[in-house]
């Protein structure tokens, strides 16, 4: 395993960086880190209700960034935000895959049309910008074998995954036709501080931390042996910054991951033991669960490691830091 | 090579069939054939200017079908059209890949949202319908080797191809979640009678037939050795009908093709010799041509042959029948 190498991030000094969805968990970490390395950061975020935006997420840098309250679905807004930027972290998204099935049109508007708006704005007003796109492991659907390489077939099970995959294809097409540089980062199961905690539709680790903090009962489906690649938000943020600045990554798709899988059972035990409250209950699989069950998932991250990426936060450490954050800031998240 | 076997098409007797885009070249052939086998056919077509609709295309069956003049982008219209149908041939599309790059939003609206409308209408009002979708070889982009199997990587070079691929993914997702049966038919380079002839953006064979009929000059890029799999519209129509009725094809993606490749040079020579006028000129490749040049393409059609599909019309025969059609009906097409 290679070591994390962030030395190249010094190049962000003076760089103009746009973060779409910069008030959400992943976007706000990327924005905050970019500021730390001297970037001139603009955030575009619409604060859509029930989504991930929380102004407190950028509390530590709010005086140093420019915040555009606007929607990626509005082309003119996107054009104004994109002009003059050196790097764009495109993190804005409709995130819930269950909601993407309830209302595929909203997912289409945000994750397809909104993404097209970013690329069309680059095509017409800023072909020099480099785009870093947070795609999702949902692009794969059922995987054939683990660890998963980027070349495995892409067969999304949900509209959300189909549109994330479409976003990757858009990036490939705009590079081929207009030379707009991009990196598609395939994010597995993210968790960490700053995620919205109002509902459970964004990720189970955070949700279970909330349930445990409230002394509730956590349900485990089946034997709890199903494996996921839980990635701490700071590791994602490191990868985004590396992808945005490394010339080696000009037009490519790469997996992110924690370097190892964690079973559901271990995940839940870690949460309950870290929080010090909450109980665990084993239940049968729900009938319709096969629709979203993708089988075990662990990413092969050898491609991303060429950028200097390496997971830096163990799962136990990440859960601890997430819990510490919400213990301190709970009232701001639910 | 297996033989064409259309014996199963007798099952269309009394079946209710909806053809979206039924006034276009492919849709009108599928509609006309379905009528021939006793189906009760409805056509949904918006006659969008510059697209393929021509009321003359269904002249022979117009008294036997129901025509809804409506747009697949309008959900309520689609719902009314979809209710009660047994089989849906979804042929309506924004077809020009060059236009898909000029205005990706129009392509998104028709080929993504319009497609979603068909599936959402099935989900909520008719889960028993079976969908046959005319996808495109543009789903592949540059192919790795020929003949092309369905399992080759999908890397569209154009927005049109990305949205066609998305349509396939939608079908897979709606089958998995709601059991709506589908067949994705991957169509290579179609040609034949009834294609619009106002502009060159739908296919070179038809366009060259027009140019030759007008005594014009046909340009061949480079050495003319680039190979395509030109498929006659009647062969496509046979495949659509087979896919719609065969229980073996419940949820699958399959290539169509002519069973053999034809070089550009041979294609043009065939056109000029058949028409008996027109000249040929060899020119350099245009600078930006690499964007749409996919390399040689010949489909592996072994999967479709399991349905009874086999190409029935040689390229020479197809060009002759196409020329004969436009000789007779030219004034109705340009």
B170 touching chain A per CB within 8 A: yes
Structural domain that includes position B29: 7-192+231-258+298-312
Q: How far is it, in rounded angstroms, from Cα A256 to Cα A309?
A: 9
pLDDT at B221 over 90: no
pLDDT at A287 over 80: no
Give contacts of B173 with chain A, Cβ < 8 Å.
Answer: 156-159, 162
Share of chain A above pLDDT 70, in %: 98
Mean pLDDT of B277-305: 84
Does some domain include residue A282? no
Residue B294 has pLDDT above 80, yes or no: no
Mode of pairing for the β-strands spanning A87-90 and A16-20: parallel
CA atoms within 13 A on the CB side of B7: 3
In a domain, B281, yes or no: no
State residue B284's pLDDT score.
84
Q: Measure the CA–CA gap between B265 and A136, rounded to whole angstroms.
A: 44
Higher pLDDT, A289 or A82: A82
Nearest CA in chain B to A98: B177
Check which CATH number belongs to the domain holding A110 and give it.
Answer: 3.40.50.720
Specify the pLDDT at position A259. 87
Q: What is the pLDDT of residue A289?
A: 64
Annotate B126-158 with three-state secondary structure.
Answer: CCCCEEEEEEEHHHCECCCCCCECCCCCCECCC
Q: Across the strands, what pairs with A220?
A: A282
Residue B1 has pLDDT above 70, yes or no: no
Whether A268 is in a domain gets the answer no
Q: Is residue A23 part of a domain?
A: yes
8 Å CB contact of A177 and B101: yes
The values of phi and psi at residue B254, to 5°, are: -140, 145
> What is the ipTM metric for this complex?
0.95
Residue A290 pLDDT: 59
Which of A76, A104, A114, A164 would you mutate first to test chain B, the one with the most B CBs within 10 A? A104
B198 touches chain A (CB under 8 A): no
Query: Which pLDDT value is given to residue B68?
Result: 98
What's the pLDDT score for residue A295?
85
Q: Is residue A60 part of a domain?
A: yes
Report the largest interatomic distance among the alpha carbons of chain A, rounded to a whole angstrom: 55
> What local confidence, expressed as pLDDT, does residue A154 receive?
96
Asked if the C-beta of A169 comes within 8 angstroms of chain B's C-beta atoms, the answer is yes
Rounded Cα distance between B171 and A202, Å, is: 25
Torsion from C-alpha of A143, A149, A153, A158, nearest 10 degrees: 50
Q: Determine the residue of chain A that is closest to B287 in CA distance.
A: A177
Residue A249 forms part of a structural domain: yes
Cβ within 8 Å, pair A177-B116: no
Report yes or no on A211 lying in a domain: no
Q: What's the rounded mean pLDDT across residues A315-323?
A: 98
Residue A291's pLDDT is: 57
What local confidence, expressed as pLDDT, does residue B154 receive?
Answer: 96
Q: Is the pLDDT of residue A104 over 70?
A: yes
| The predicted structure's pLDDT at residue B286 | 74
CA A297 from chain center: how many Å? Answer: 16
Domain count, chain B: 1
Mean pLDDT of A231-250: 96
Judge whether A319 lies within some domain.
no
Q: Is A182 on the interface with B (CB under 8 A)?
A: no
Give the dihedral sign, CA A95/A101/A104/A108.
positive
- On the 0-12 / 13-18 / 19+ scale of CB atoms within 10 A, B275 is buried
Asked if the C-beta of B292 comes within 8 angstroms of chain A's C-beta atoms, the answer is no
Asked whether B313 and B260 are in contact (CB, 8 A), the reply is no
Given an 8 Å threshold on Cβ–Cβ distance, is A105 in contact with B116?
A: yes
Phi, psi of A299 (to 5 degrees): -85, 140
How far apart are alpha carbons B238 and B249 in whole angstroms? 14
Going from the C-alpha of B14 to that of each of B39, B40, B41, the distances in angstroms are 5, 6, 9
**What contacts A237, CB < 8 A, 6 or more positions away?**
A26, A29, A30, A32, A33
């Amino acid at each position: 395993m290679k070591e994390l190498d962030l030395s190249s991030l010094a190049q962000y000094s003076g760089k103009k960086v746009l973060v779409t969805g910069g008030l959400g968990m992943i976007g706000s970490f990327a924005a905050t880190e970019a500021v730390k390395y001297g970037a001139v950061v603009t955030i575009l975020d619409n604060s859509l209700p029930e989504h991930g935006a929380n102004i407190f997420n950028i509390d530590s840098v709010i005086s140093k960034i420019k915040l555009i309250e606007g929607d990626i679905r509005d082309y003119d807004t996107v054009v104004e935000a994109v002009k003059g930027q050196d790097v764009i972290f495109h993190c804005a998204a409709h995130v819930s895959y269950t909601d993407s099935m309830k209302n595929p049109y909203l997912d289409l508007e945000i994750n397809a049309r909104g993404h097209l708006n970013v690329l069309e704005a680059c095509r017409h007003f800023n072909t020099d910008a480099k785009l870093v796109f947070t795609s999702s492991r949902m692009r794969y659907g059922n995987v054939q074998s683990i660890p998963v390489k980027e070349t495995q077939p892409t067969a999304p099970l949900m509209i959300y995954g189909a549109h994330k995959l479409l976003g990757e294809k858009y990036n490939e097409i705009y590079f081929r036709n207009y030379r707009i540089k991009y990196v598609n980062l395939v994010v597995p199961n993210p968790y960490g501080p700053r995620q919205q905690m109002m509902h459970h539709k964004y990720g189970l680790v955070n949700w279970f931390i909330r349930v445990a903090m409230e002394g509730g009962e956590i349900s485990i489906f089946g034997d709890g042996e199903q494996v996921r690649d839980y990635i701490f938000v700071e590791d994602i943020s490191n990868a985004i910054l590396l992808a945005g600045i490394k010339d080696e990554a000009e037009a490519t798709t790469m997996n992110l991951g924690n370097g190892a899988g964690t079973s559901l059972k271990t995940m839940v035990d870690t949460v309950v033991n870290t929080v010090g409250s909450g109980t665990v209950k084993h239940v049968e699989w729900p009938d319709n669960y096969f629709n979203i069950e993708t089988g075990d998932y662990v990413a092969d991250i050898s491609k991303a490691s060429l950028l200097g990426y390496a997971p830096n936060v163990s799962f136990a450490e990440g859960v601890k830091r997430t819990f510490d954050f919400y213990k301190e800031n709970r009232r701001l998240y639910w």
